[in-house]
Amino acid sequence: MQPFLMTPKMTTIQDVFYPTGYAFVMFPDAANAEEAAQKIEQAGFSDQDVMFLAPSVILREIGRIDGESSVELPSVGTEGATVNKYINLARQGHHALMVSAPSDEDAEKLMAVVREFPFSYAQKYHMLAMEDLE
């Protein structure tokens, strides 16, 4: 597992977070996120495929919010609504894992592990669509 690093490929032309080929999974606490990351790697994902995000990182890097500012991002379609969901959960202390899962098989293998834990939200970013993972 590695710390999150935002790259230009993870945003849209409008500079909204949209990491195509990744799944973004939120957990109510760090312990569950970290344990899930270990099991995800044991399931065959590389430690380079799994990134950990603390609530402060979600707010700062994805939500572009400094501290506990109450300013919300303007909603830019589904992408903006999803980022706002991440912001709201991060403000409640939720942590996240971002996992490279380019294929449907990768996403299912990931979710087979994630379902063992109490997760609060999971989203898969496809080229032209986002998919809620359950």
pLDDT for the residue 69 = 46
Regions of the chain short of the pLDDT cut 50: 69-76
pLDDT for the residue 130 = 64
Is the model's pTM score more than 0.75? yes
pLDDT for the residue 131 = 63
Is 65 within 8 Å of 16 (Cβ atoms)?
no
pLDDT for the residue 70 = 47
pLDDT for the residue 77 = 62
Nearest to 10 by CA among 67, 68, 53, 74: 53
pLDDT for the residue 128 = 62
List the chain domain ranges.
Answer: 17-132
What does the alpha-carbon distance between residue 125 and residue 40 come to, in Å, rounded to a whole number?
A: 18
Q: What distance lies between CA 33 and its chain's CA centroid?
A: 11
The fold for domain 17-132 equals Alpha-Beta Plaits (3.30.70)
Measured CA to CA in angstroms, residue 82 lies from 33, 52, 57, 71, 131 at distances of 19, 18, 16, 16, 11
Residues whose CB falls within 8 Å of the CB of residue 104, separated by 6 or more in sequence, listed in order: none
Strand partners, 97: 25, 52
Two tokens at 111? 């979710």
